[in-house]
Homo-oligomer: A and B are copies of this chain.
Amino acid sequence: MENIPIVFWLVPIASVCALGMAWYFFKTMMKADEGTPRMIEIAEHVRKGAMAYLKQQYKVVLIVFIVLAVIFAIMAYGFNAQNPWVPFAFLTGGFFSGLAGFFGMKTATYASGRTAEAARHGLDKGLKIAFRSGSVMGLVVVGLGLLDIALWFLVLNAFYSGKMPTTEMLITITTTMLTFGMGASTQALFARVGGGIYTKAADVGADLVGKVEENIPEDDPRNPATIADNVGDNVGDVAGMGADLYESYCGSILSTAALGATAFASSTAEGMQLRAVIAPMIIAAVGVFLSLLGIFLVRTKDGASMKDLLHSLGLGTNTAAILIAIVTFPILYALGIENWVGVSFSVLSGLAAGVIIGQATEYYTSQSYKPTREISAASKTGAATVIIKGIGTGMISTCIPVLTISVAIMLSYLCANGFDMSMSAVSIQHGLYGIGIAAVGMLSTLGITLATDAYGPIADNAGGNAEMSELGEEVRNRTDALDALGNTTAATGKGFAIGSAALTALALLASYIEEIKIAMHRVGETMTNVAGDTIDAAQATIPDFMNYFQVNLMNPKVLVGAFIGAMAAFLFCGLTMGAVGRAAGKMVEEVRRQFHEIKGILEGKATPDYGRCVEISTQSAQHEMIIPSLLAIIIPILVGVILGVSGVLGLLAGGLAAGFTLAVFMANAGGAWDNAKKYVEEGNFGGKGSECHKATIVGDTVGDPFKDTSGPSLNILIKLMSMVSIVMAGLTVAFM
């Protein structure tokens, strides 16, 4: 223990502060007025539906986790093909990820009714409840993430301390901890896919019959699918997002720590390696405090206007982002990281990339700009041209994010290794560390950026509650305004999430190499280095490794791996799109049946059977999430066994390049269709109820699974495939 620098304790302290503040915000929110009995009843319906779903979901996921943990245990204890800590690390990763989703959803389902009630008294009051509740989610994610990381680091440090030299110990610890990322990724994928299918089956089903066929407004209590739709917002956008970002957050910190351990393994400076390992954790810990500062900056005056609120939200997130950029320099200087200026600039390039990607997302998906307005205009010639235009816009919108991330990769790599393109062993390692830490920088203020993202669904649900409780148009307009407000500020948060996913996936690619080396070392396999000598695999540098496994672009295994990686991204999206289509079809039939069989629903005289719709969504989601999720686990294992290390690296690189681009395309096309519809609803091209409106509703419906099911799941898919490869490195080595 004595070898751990005192500054490390910032990490558990930050974790406790985050969780404490989350608890405080939660308690404050719970004290707020719940509104009329009707409002309480509806909130209760949604809450019960959401909890029932989560329970069902966790049951299924638990089985998957038990099976996988047993396999890991057999690999570890039976065949020595795995570090003995892996089964436990895997389980805690999954547990904490699930917990983050659970707490987030619990808060959201309590908050939405209270937000609706607060919105009755003013826009600012609604914002306060919704945003603080969103902050609970943000703080729980970072708090649990840092807690898990700090605990494991201390446990493993205590266990290995004295048993091996420090250098080897740190590499062992960080690569072991990395595997708890697979637990988080697996949990996140199930949450995103299951939640995504649930929410969009309900949403699409509700819209298709309600809005298109029967011409009743969104969230109308006469629509039997409306409760399921509101439950869906919670299980998909809140619980799914929570698990997702928990995984991103921990993944970026852990992979950077692992890269730090190897990058500075040969450093002569005393304790340099350890400091490089804890640097990402410290940046994240400081980010927690800056996030808290930002959250408190979001203040609302009584009767604040929309513009004031926007300014206030922007102030919070931007202050946190700017401060972390500035503060990184003294942190890395104080830690004594070699080339601290360069590494700080790596962080800076990551942050800049996040901002640019966020702005580009905003440009391509907001109805304030030309691209989305042109999609609205395409509705003049019908639904088909809306779809064509939306797909075209989505595809074009991949250009800026990909170029930005490309520049960020080059810059964070070069800044961290002193602009050394020699591709020497050390320069590569330092460069990769730079790429990893850039991702950490982007996610360090997740506490507040996630708050701006997570409060959207809360506002959305508050709107649903207001509509179903018939609180009148003014309240509904306020909750809509809150939702719209969130969309604007969330753009930056989304940019950070997407950008960091790409950088983290790259860092994981490098971590995979380390895991293979360790797995070979464990079973005593040797390697031939570039000079032609036989060496212990653990001693191999990246050039040695690349040369030994022929991981170059003329190796057909690498190319075939890349083909399969690109295909995996498409196949995965295809399966999830198909799942939403099927589930939505069932929902439509049920809603039609109820309109047909339960007399008086449309006149508001009879109550629809909300429960049946909730059940259909739950069952469909549970049933449909299995195949795509398992595929993400099986593909990298099979490729590893059949094509070996070079095939896996091809798979991960191909999957990353194609998957990232596909994810941006789907997210932006979906977002643009959503807002193109809103633009028409604002009174353009004939406004609500016009033919143009109907055409844009088709676009919005198609966009639903794009932006809320397939697109966001892809970000996890990319990383989960890397994580599985990392955890299964032992198996790949056994088949070599």
Contacts and interface: CB of A to CB of B under 8 A. Distances in A.
Interface in A395-427: 395-399, 402-403, 405-406, 409-410, 413, 423
A657 B660 contact: no
Contacts of A580: 388
A575 B394 CA distance: 10
Nearest to A586: B381
B510 A378 contact: no
Contacts of A567: 398-399, 402-403, 661
Contacts of A705: 388
B649 A553 contact: yes
A513 interface: yes
B559 A409 contact: yes
Nearest to A510: B554
A562 interface: yes
A593 to B, nearest CB: 13
A553 B551 contact: yes
B388 A574 contact: no
Contact of A570 (B387, B550, B577, B665): B665
Contacts of A378: 581, 585
B383 A383 contact: yes
A506 interface: yes
B208 A381 contact: yes
Given A395-B571, A554-B546, A661-B658, A559 B208 contact: no
The CB with the most chain B CB atoms within 10 A, among A208, A405, A653, is that of: A653
A563 interface: yes
A: contact size bracket: 35 or more
Contacts of A546: 552-554
B551 A398 contact: no
A588 B381 CA distance: 7
A393 interface: yes
Contact of A574 (B208, B396, B403, B406): B396
A437 to B, nearest CB: 15
Given A387-B698, A513-B554, A657-B566, A578 B393 contact: yes
Contacts of A313: none
A105 B575 CA distance: 40
A381 to B, nearest CB: 5
Contacts of A280: none
A391 B378 CA distance: 20
A29 B558 CA distance: 50
A383 B573 contact: no
Interface in A419-439: 423, 428, 431-432, 435
A117 to B, nearest CB: 34
28 contacts: A208-B381, A380-B585, A381-B585, A385-B585, A388-B577, A392-B573, A392-B577, A393-B574, A394-B574, A395-B570, A395-B571, A395-B575, A396-B575, A402-B566, A403-B567, A406-B564, A409-B563, A410-B557, A413-B556, A423-B555, A510-B554, A546-B554, A562-B656, A562-B657, A565-B657, A567-B661, A654-B654, A654-B658
Closest 3 pairs between A and B when the two form their complex, measured CB to CB: A395-B574, A392-B577, A384-B701
